Structure 1
Amino acid sequence: YLGQTCSSILEEKTHNPRLTKSREEFIEIMANLKLSYPKQIDKALPANLVCGLQGDI
């Protein structure tokens, strides 16, 4: 990322090597990365589904 802290969707679609490929190629690339299960995904995903708000609303 060369020190950049943000990007636009257009920049990513234009310059991100993963996003310049077909859908099928993207899926293959991501599957071959063999990434480990994210440590905080079980907390982050439910929080994201309710806009980060926790507790009774």
Structure 2
Amino acid sequence: MRADARLFRERLLVKGVTVLPFEEPPLPHGFWEYAPLADTAADAAITMWEAFRDLLDSTTDRQAP
């Protein structure tokens, strides 16, 4: 994650926005495109997708009936 992205993340957190800060240092931006080719990218993509799914599930649970 670049420095500007880290600063943006901090600004969002201060405002109470939920942030999923994933950093995969050995992988390039867009690493999920390499998931079919590299186990490291596949593992990172699965972790990211599961976290996103959990976030969506948690916001769905909080909605008023």
Q: Which has the larger radius of gyration?
A: 1
Band the TM-score falls in, shorter-chain normalisation: under 0.3
TM-score by length of 2: 0.26
RCO (CA 8 Å, sep 6+): is it higher in 1 or 2? Answer: 2
TM-score by length of 1: 0.28
